[in-house]
Amino acid sequence: MTRSRQRGGKAPAWIAMAAILLGTGAVAACSPLRTFNSLVPKDGGARRIATGVPYGSDPRQRLDIYAPRDSAPGEAANAGDRPVVVFFYGGSWSSGTRRGYDFVGRALSAQGFVTIVPDYRLVPDIRYPAFVEDGAAAVRWARAHAGDYGGDGSRIVLAGHSAGAYIAAMLAFDDRWLGRDRAAVRGFAGLAGPYDFAPFDVEASRAAFGQWPDPAETQPVTWAGAGDPPALLMFGAKDETVLPRNSEALAQRLRAGGVAATLRRYDGVGHVGIVASLARPLRGNSPALSDMAAFVRAVAGPASGDAAPGTPAAAQPSAASPSPSAPSASRRR
């Protein structure tokens, strides 16, 4: 009998759910991750320290906060000394919930970071750019309030999977959304992100972006270039939903501007499998978690209260400002 089986030879329920998730490449499979999350064993070295915290007035504008188990809000010894990871989940911009990614929040925080997982408004109730605007509001909230939860709001790494990686990339590389607050963004870590997918040839992208008059304005590759934060771009070799060329195109654009961009290709991993491999029992499928943790430490520094070596100090958080609905020519490439 293996350790992965219960008494009587019956496999734990999470194994069956993992088999379903890993056996499909559909973006819609991101939704069953909530069931997977409820069943899969979690990291014991982290905990959720706040839930349903509002960063806006809409019911979908809520976030959860995770921290290493040895930290807590209000403890002076821990206040403001940990890098902050803001993680956006995927789901075709039309599905998903932060509670389905509790395993991600705990996995990242067990590595020593304060992790924030926001919800955001979804299609069909909204269209682009509303989900990017929500992401920007969540990041501005994180910059202003992370110190209340043991994090350093001047050392933020934006991360995400699939549609969530798209949101994080737009915030990292297109300064229309965060403005001065982008100074706090030390890096971007994307899992299987769509960064170069115009024209819109699938229903999910048509529903989210089809009404926008200039498709190029919606693409992260349009805005990426000199002066942007470093990037870690991870993808599965078996991903047939968001093709690896998206990560490769973004890396090429960033490198052309002198920005450090690291590509990580994981053999045998598909679109959903790459984020599922952040879960404790599935880490043998890819080193995505260890790669992300090493990247965060490299660009944002350890939990020391000091900025990463060579990284300029960020300006103080600016007052929240409305996100634009039209592009700025200064960043159009």
- Residue 245 clears pLDDT 60, i.e. is over it: yes
Quote the CA–CA distance of 27 and 319 in Å, as a whole number.
Answer: 36
Specify the residue for token string 């504008």: 61
User: Does residue 6 have a pLDDT over 70?
Assistant: no
pLDDT of 249 above 90: yes
Cα dihedral sign, 291-295-297-300: negative
pTM comes to 0.85
Output the CA torsion 28→63→56→313 (10° steps): -110
Q: What is the mean pLDDT of residues 288-314?
A: 72
Predicted confidence at residue 33, as pLDDT, reads 75
The Cα–Cα gap between 100 and 123 comes to 18
- 181-209: average pLDDT: 98
Residue pLDDT, tens place only, 128-168:
999 999 999 999 999 999 999 999 999 999 999 999 999 99
Cα–Cα distance for residue pair 18/232, rounded to 1 Å: 25
Q: Please answer whether residues 135 and 166 qualify as being in contact, where contact means their C-beta atoms are separated by less than 8 angstroms.
A: no
CB 247, CB 235: distance < 8 Å: yes
Rg (CA), the chain: 19
**Can you tell me the mean pLDDT for 234-255?**
98
The span from the CA of 143 to the CA of 156, in Å, is 8
Higher-pLDDT residue of 9 and 114 is 114
Contact in structure between 288 and 40 (CB atoms under 8 Å): no
pLDDT one-digit tens code per residue, 96-113: 999 999 999 999 999 999
- pLDDT for res 34: 76
Q: Which of 49-53, 80-84, 178-182 has the lowest mean pLDDT?
A: 80-84
